[in-house]
Structure 1
């Protein structure tokens, strides 16, 4: 039977859906949300969503930024959650309800033809702050010098190490380039807040840039990165058990997880803050590096354990 012949060089007018969605336009999120809830104007629905938008509008004023539909991703929602919980003092149950509504509006923007940041769906309201972890300086070195990673795992590892050494959000540390390096410092215009930050250039970061020809490894979407860094840390052997209490259905239960399961892109930022504090760097100096506006929010990033704190007090002259 004669083989079927066809021309592989032509696809006529057919395009992959991903190409179409990448080219969607964006719009001002608040303008879309206001238009949408006004179209659905009815009692309880309107009042609940108006309450969310009131808080989101004030949050935009607080950070001096207006979000477009494609600029509200997981990191941005996480920061909004911290603002509501720490700066505004809202209950986590209230915040959970708000974030559900925020995600609903983002989804509606997408369904109405506006571009969105896909990572928004991965944002969660974490109820127990003790579920966050950080890496010690020894653990950072252990990850950095580990032999046995594949080339793509090395890229994930090296990107994460840069995050641990700069204290920035993933959206900032993953896009650093040689242009950000000036002398012995890294100069960053933070994507989210448009604040300028200057961070010392460490040997780790110098070596990463040299390894990749004066630039960072390829940037990945945050969802992919969060899964990949867990696999890397598991391979390295960061499998200590972390035990914490969590409320479930009104009851306090004991939860056990391996440390690598709790590591994500944002662990790098917490690691930077915590290790600065452990090395007695004044918090106001660290905040100038990280860009935190709120002291309360900054303090939540410090993941020093009670044992760490006790060790730091043990040699202070009084507790000898």
Structure 2
């Protein structure tokens, strides 16, 4: 299929997007002016699409271009140019409507997401929606809407190659292949034939993933540092997260109404948003100290974006400047590079620090009760086993010079 997608250089500020299909019936191409404008700097002339096609503002344009290419590729050999143009124009007019053939993989993927919306947690639904967008891009690159029986190992290998060329991470690719299998299992449960048995999950060489944590000395630095008033709530929440080991979605919803007393020990009871697990967590003396400073209440709530920005600033002010290697996002992909540790902080730092700093001091089974992990294998993914403090501690054991350390400054 021959086509050309370009922008109208005759306009001054923003430019109309045009698409041109070259037919097999006659020399005159089918020309369409799409109802989208784009800045010249945002258009990649060579690749014939927006420079960053993962931006939200370009998503509708990308979807329409892919739909037009797929439709043209499917019918161009059998439909005359005039009828083809009418069909494409109708597709442009109805671009806001979801109109996918009911025997396609995309149709059943959308149906599965709709059915499971209330059953699966929000983060899982978000991942399925990412998968949905990825399928649309893949089908656009292949100029084909895949039917259920066409999904076999050959197509999966093409999909994996496409993902690698688009610089998707190994974890995203593996998860996506598993999602393929899930949707095909869903189709099988509806009585449809599939080739799910052919599909094999990719095996990548395991890369060591950097786990960034705050050690005991760094937490004490943050505790001792006086910060501006506008950062004080974030500082308290950061310390609370380091002593409770919970996700942002859980600890930011802590309130005095969750308090329970168990044999005169003050605890907090809540249901984890991600897993739905009922957690009863005894409060660490340092958390009780923060509550006392706030008249028995937790600090004012913060949204995720501001919290992440503010804890970076707090760590910077506290002198958390050790260089670490970690993944940082640039545009739509992550890259691995060296940064000062304060730049690597995000809302999950407290959960990882809790798991790492208490590991080996409190039985793992008890720590897992606090974090809500179902298996020790999953728990260990949160533990930084290579932190310098533990290496020095091992050296002290070798030299018979072991000093007791207490992870509290109450």
TM-score normalised over the length of structure 1: 0.60
- Map 1:268-279 to 2 at 5 A: 268-277=350-359, 279=360
Distance 2:336 2:240 in 1: 34
Structure showing greater radius of gyration is: 2
Residue 218 (structure 2) pairs with residue 139 (structure 1)? yes
Whether the 8 Å CA contact 1:132–1:262 is kept in 2: the answer is no
Whether the 8 Å CA contact 2:326–2:344 is kept in 1: the answer is no
Aligned residue number for residue 157 of structure 2: none
Whether the 8 Å CA contact 1:164–1:268 is kept in 2: the answer is yes
Determine which of 234, 242, 250 is the counterpart of 2:324.
Answer: 242
Aligned residue number for residue 258 of structure 1: 340
Determine which of 66, 79, 100 is the counterpart of 2:119.
Answer: 66
Determine which of 386, 389, 393 is the counterpart of 1:305.
Answer: 386
Distance 2:307 2:295 in 1: 22
Distance 2:252 2:379 in 1: 21
Aligned residue number for residue 365 of structure 2: 284
Determine which of 27, 43, 47 is the counterpart of 2:104.
Answer: 43
CA 1:244–1:217 in 2, change beyond 3 Å: closer, same or farther? closer
Structure number having the greater helix percentage: 1
Residue 263 (structure 2) pairs with residue 188 (structure 1)? no
Aligned residue number for residue 299 of structure 2: 217
CA deviations 1:173-226 (Å, max 9, x no partner) are 112222333343322222323323233322321121122221111112212211
Distance 1:223 1:100 in 2: 29
Residue 319 of structure 1 deviates from its aligned partner by 9.0
Residue 135 of structure 1 deviates from its aligned partner by 0.8
CA 1:254–1:283 in 2, change beyond 3 Å: closer, same or farther? same
Q: Tell me, what secondary structure is at the counterpart of 2:324?
A: strand
Unmatched tracts of structure 1, length 5 or more: 1-35, 82-89, 102-126
Determine which of 215, 220, 235 is the counterpart of 1:157.
Answer: 235
Unmatched tracts of structure 2, length 5 or more: 1-96, 131-168, 181-205, 402-410
Aligned residue number for residue 175 of structure 1: 253
Count of aligned residue pairs for this structure pair: 232
Distance 1:222 1:245 in 2: 19
Q: Tell me, what secondary structure is at the counterpart of 1:161?
A: helix
Aligned residue number for residue 232 of structure 1: 314
CA 1:77–1:264 in 2, change beyond 3 Å: closer, same or farther? farther
Whether the 8 Å CA contact 1:177–1:214 is kept in 2: the answer is no
Whether the 8 Å CA contact 1:159–1:217 is kept in 2: the answer is yes
Residue 173 (structure 2) pairs with residue 94 (structure 1)? yes
CA deviations 1:162-181 (Å, max 9, x no partner) are 11111111122112222333
Distance 2:294 2:222 in 1: 18
Whether the 8 Å CA contact 1:209–1:216 is kept in 2: the answer is yes
CA 1:271–1:45 in 2, change beyond 3 Å: closer, same or farther? same
